[in-house]
Chain A
Amino acid sequence: MNAEEKKRLAITACKVRIGTIIGVYNAKSGHPGGSLSAADLFTYLYFHEMQIDPKNPQMPDRDRFVLSKGHGCPALYATLAERGFFPREELENLRHIGALLQGHPDMKLTPGIDMSSGSLGQGVSAACGIALAGKMDHKAYRVYTMLGDGELEEGQVWEAAMFASHHNLDNLCAIVDYNGLQIDGKVEEVAGLSPLDQKFEAFGFDVQWIDGHDFDAMEQAFAHARSVKGKPSCIIAKTTKGKGVSYMENAVGWHGKAPNTAEYEQALTELKAALAKLEAE
């Protein structure tokens, strides 16, 4: 990836993080940790990878994205806002009465949301259905879905995995936001997933590990996933929960809690400093 593009993505991701914090702070609730861990991936998907049109969110041949870990939507909303699906101001209304942006993604309400989600484990199955419909209709679109590592404990995820490989859904790419934390603690302490790559391989997936904050790595991995034929892809992205806000990084307590005013200001100061630095580079 050329330096110019990488800089553009990094700046956008930083704005996505700022939008995330604004949203969660104004909602006085929500899930900052797993939003920030996924912010770089969302940015990459919506600004570099997916064929979409913010002016025409229902475009029939668009690539689809299903946020199976639906609670990570504050960062997805911030990404969609940056991409022009709706005004940034909507983020300030997140989770309020009558808001365009619900606590968990609502496909009937929010432009750019391809599937409602929030109950863990279900989005990946819906993504299989969308991929299957694409095959039936001989469409070229691709389907991306993102799962939390804790979410992988749901049995339905593995039912979906079997389904995807049985039906040779090579138009499906599952991304695991592998940040190592869930609510009750570390994923490996709650329910060990290792060896995760071997599990997905055994279920018939092409598996890649990447650093989920490295755009070069994403470019290579998503290009490879597009070239895989006959089976679904899985990209296990190692990430840091809370990435970009010092006190939220790797802190299990920031899974589902909004910052207070002092914390909010500190988060914005840090992110704005990071943004200024990127822009000056």
Chain B
Amino acid sequence: MAEIVKKATRESFGLALVEEGKTNPNIVALDSDLAESTKTGFFKDAYPDRFFECGIAEANMMSVAAGLAACGKIPFAASFAMFSTGRAFEQVRNSIGYPHLNVKVVGSHAGISVGEDGATHQCIEDIALMRAIPGMVVLNPADHYEMTAAVHAIVAYDGPCYLRLGRLAVESIYHERDDYHFELGKGITVRDGNDITVVATGLLVQEAAKAADALKSEGISVRVIDIHTIKPIDREILVRAAKETGLLITAEEHSIIGGLGEAVCSVLCEEYPTKVIRIGIQDVFGHSGPAFDLLKEFGLSAENIARTVKQALNR
């Protein structure tokens, strides 16, 4: 059993990147005036010669990263998710995606939990945008251990990736799993169960696990699957869950359009048609407020997952 770590995944990312940088001199980091927030600042302090401050110019940063990658560097280009995937979408698509360059696009403060900054900064479309680019690997790790492993995996993987980071500190889930094994594209069964499956990603994995634990005492057996790699998605684990539990709920801090929910639906429609209920932002913009209040309001909580499970099972 490892130690319980309470850290935002952006912080875990920053630490992991410094660690990877020790042995891999090709890793470079770029930021656009948010190094302190995205935590590329740690890399900047450790390796000032391999950090490039691009200023508030995300589009330029992405194409510069493409050029660096074309010369064998492994650039991590970071901003808030809204700007790295939204503002610079077309640069990511055409400069990075189309030539399949080895750039790691990093989006911090993703989702509604950016809180008080409000709708302009609450990116609930990044997964949809990045998923749509051919060849782009899309990752949304759930805790410190998973983020650390994900950074290691995408450094080893040669190709464009999108890495989603959260703002809020989250308690680790995988400290208790000595068998924890991260593999790109492979889901992880966090709780076993056979009445229903909750497929979650990022921040919602811990909420789903909490819901499953609470429902256990009521005699409801909930399987929880962590999809850290939304693309390519683990088709096998989803189809098996559909076959074995017959009903799925997806949970994500993202729009229900284009994110994990629709990715799961696509797989099941093609392979094993099963009812899927999508928990996520229901095609609306967010607004200002404290992060935890917003998560509650938009149904991104263990309570709402538990409620949805019970409704789905008529319990």
Contacts and interface: CB of A to CB of B under 8 A. Distances in A.
Interface string A172-185: 00000000001111
B53 A184 contact: yes
B293 to A, nearest CB: 6
B82 interface: yes
B39 to A, nearest CB: 13
B287 A102 contact: yes
Contact of B289 (A96, A106, A184): A96
Interface in B13-36: 31, 33-36
Contact of B287 (A27, A97, A182): A97
Nearest to B121: A118
A120 interface: yes
Interface in A101-130: 102-104, 106, 116-121
Contact of B55 (A27, A102, A153): A153
Contacts of A29: 115-117
Interface stretch (B56-64, B202-210, B235-243, B275-283): B56-64
Interface in B275-307: 287-290, 293-294, 297
A99 B290 CA distance: 12
Contacts of A206: none
A118 B117 contact: yes
A103 B53 contact: no
B87 interface: yes
Interface residues of A, number: 31
A97 B56 contact: no
B33 A118 contact: no
B120 A184 contact: no
Interface string A85-102: 000000000011111001
A104 B119 CA distance: 8
Contact of B117 (A103, A117, A154): A103
A70 B119 CA distance: 12
A70 B35 CA distance: 20
Interface in A21-38: 27-30
A280 interface: no
A29 B55 CA distance: 23
Nearest to B37: A183
Contacts of A70: 120
B118 interface: yes
Contact of B120 (A104, A153, A154, A185): A104
B65 to A, nearest CB: 15
A97 B82 contact: no
A119 B120 contact: yes
A183 B119 contact: no
A95 B36 contact: no
A118 B31 CA distance: 19
Given A99-B288, A184-B34, A191 B55 contact: yes
Nearest to A150: B56
A117 B118 CA distance: 11
Nearest to A27: B116
A95 B120 CA distance: 13
Interface residues of B, number: 31
Contact of A191 (B57, B115, B289, B294): B57
A96 B118 CA distance: 10
A104 B57 contact: no
A102 B31 contact: no
A181 to B, nearest CB: 11
A183 B121 contact: no
Given A120-B56, A190-B53, A95 B33 contact: no
B11 to A, nearest CB: 17
A183 B36 contact: yes
Contacts of A154: 56-57
A29 B117 CA distance: 8
A195 interface: no
A102 B56 contact: no
A155 interface: yes
A212 B294 CA distance: 38
A102 B288 contact: yes
Contacts of B119: 102, 104, 106
Interface string B35-68: 1110000000000000001111101100000000
Contacts of A184: 31, 33-36, 53
A182 B54 CA distance: 12
Residue of B37, B86, B120, B290 with highest tally of chain A CB at under 10 A: B120
A151 interface: yes
B291 to A, nearest CB: 10
A155 B57 contact: yes
A95 B118 contact: yes
Nearest to B293: A97
B59 to A, nearest CB: 6
A104 B297 contact: no
| The 4 nearest A-B residue pairs measured at CB | A118-B120, A191-B55, A103-B118, A153-B55
Interface of A: 27-30, 70, 95-99, 102-104, 106, 116-121, 150-151, 153-155, 182-185, 190-191
6 contacts: A97-B287, A97-B290, A104-B121, A119-B83, A155-B57, A191-B55
Interface of B: 31, 33-37, 53-57, 59-60, 82-83, 86-87, 115-121, 287-290, 293-294, 297
